Amino acid sequence: MKNAIASIGTVLMILVLSSIVFGQGAERPVRPGRDEKAAQRLPAREQPAERQGAEQIQQVRRLQQQIEEMRAAHQSLIDELNALRATAAKEKSGQTVKQIEAMISKRQAAFLERLRPLEQQQQQLQRAVQTRVGRPDPAGPRARRAPEFEMDSFDGRKVKLADYKNQIVVLEWFNPECPYSRYHYETAKTMVQTAEKYRDKGVIWLAVNSTVQTTPPANREFAEKHKLPYPILDDRTGKMARAYGARTTPHLFIIDKAGRIVYDGAIDNAPLGKQEASAGTLNYVDQALAELTANRAIRVPNTPPYGCTITYRQ
């Protein structure tokens, strides 16, 4: 009993220290470089158009690097907190488990709040670049190649990305126990309706479950109940989720015909159907697929995903 109390105390101390370290390290502002400051001081007409475009592309890339570093640091912290949660659960300390879960939710909300203005700034710069260069590559200035995968589905199929060359593929990270995932099947029907809308245009939709504690029967029952027109891939090892950087359920990725990730983020702007009063519900994936299938530039290639944090196998 004493050992359990001591270890729980250690958990709480680590939680406090993790919170402090995370808070100190995550607030780095975007600082323009010397060339960018000089460019800002010059009137726009004195800057050659090509130079302006090149500088904006560099700014987009620097922002993307900063965003990726923030995401990696955040995911590292969440992984550590989930490991502590598992330890507390083994010690049957329900109160500590609840405290850790509250900490995870708080860290997730704070991270998304810090990430949102950076991604908005990145999107503004991307639009400026697209306007300057005319009809752009729909993939944008820095689309990364989609990692290859070969997975078993919960209904017994073998699924690999290589089978869908020259096709658009949507990956939806999914968990039948997550209320954010369930909302889009039981209430809004977002996922199935969006998948069916673009099926005739050759878009492939695949759900992926990377939650370590999920079971094959739970996924099969969910698929049958909701008549899913696509398979759920079994990624309980977390290998595929780590390769793509999936963090929540839902979290969606769109892969274009050239095998590049052209959208990474939330399904929409309305977690559990709630959005800001001044804005209507916007299905980001629907918008991106409409633009991609029409060979237009994707206006919003990145958004902060929301939902339940994926619990990886340790």
* pLDDT above 70: residue 94: yes
Q: Is the dihedral of CA 271, 277, 278, 279 positive or negative?
A: positive
pTM of the model: 0.62
> How confident is the model over 299-309, as a mean pLDDT?
91
Least confident residue range of 38-47, 93-102, 127-136: 38-47
Phi, psi of 263 (to 5 degrees): -145, 140
For the chain, give every domain's residue range: 2-133, 144-309
> How confident is the model over 159-168, as a mean pLDDT?
96
In this prediction, residue 14 has a pLDDT band, given cuts at 50, 70 and 90, of low
pLDDT given at position 156: 96
pLDDT given at position 40: 42
Residues 6+ apart with CB under 8 A from 151: 158, 159, 160, 208, 233, 234, 235, 240
In this prediction, residue 96 has a pLDDT band, given cuts at 50, 70 and 90, of confident
In this prediction, residue 82 has a pLDDT band, given cuts at 50, 70 and 90, of confident
In this prediction, residue 24 has a pLDDT band, given cuts at 50, 70 and 90, of very low
Residue pointed to by tokens 């944090």? 309
> How confident is the model over 205-232, as a mean pLDDT?
97
Q: 291 by DSSP, 3-state: which? A: helix
Domain boundaries 144-309, CATH class:
alpha beta
DSSP annotation of 31:
-
In this prediction, residue 118 has a pLDDT band, given cuts at 50, 70 and 90, of confident
pLDDT given at position 279: 61
* pLDDT above 70: residue 307: yes
The most confident of 40-44, 63-67, 132-136, 176-180, by mean pLDDT: 176-180
Phi, psi of 300 (to 5 degrees): -125, 90
pLDDT given at position 46: 42
Q: Where are the alpha helices (DSSP H) in 26-151?
A: 34-41, 49-90, 94-133
* pLDDT above 80: residue 79: no
pLDDT given at position 98: 82
* pLDDT above 50: residue 37: no
